[in-house]
Amino acid sequence: MSVENTHALKRAEPVLLVAVGGFVGATLRHAVAVALPGGFPWGTLAVNVAGSFALGVLLYEARLADLLSAETRLVVGTGFLSSFTTYSTFAVQTASLSPTLAVANVAANYVLGLLAVLSARRVVGGVVA
């Protein structure tokens, strides 16, 4: 392999890692949404809370233990989790709810998402402030 090909492959590697993680994350998000149908967006709430916890673990692990490679963080954090969680679907679904359910959905996503990140920090070994 020539030096130019090696350099091009090295530049493409992060994009490919994000693409693979993104494909898996988006596919799993769709599967959760289909599995949890109903009048309230339970699937979106579930993936946003689970994704917040997982991202919290990933970020605090990097800060406290630093055991995972940069490539692993890229495929899992930027690729998988950014496609698994969803702000745009959350916003559209919230807008389609009655005012009472919309407020409940916003509160649930933000409160449970924050609690998930704080729980992740505690699991990894950080101190909850």
Tens of pLDDT, residue by residue over 30-76, are: 999 999 988 899 999 999 999 999 999 998 887 777 888 889 999 99
pLDDT at site 68: 85
Round to whole Å and give the CA distance between 34 and 43: 8
The model's confidence at residue 1, banded by pLDDT at 50, 70 and 90, is low
pTM: 0.85
Distances (CA, A) of 13 to 74, 79, 111, 121: 10, 12, 36, 29
Tens of pLDDT, residue by residue over 10-35, are: 889 999 999 999 999 999 999 999 99
Distances (CA, A) of 117 to 15, 60, 102, 113, 123: 26, 9, 23, 6, 10
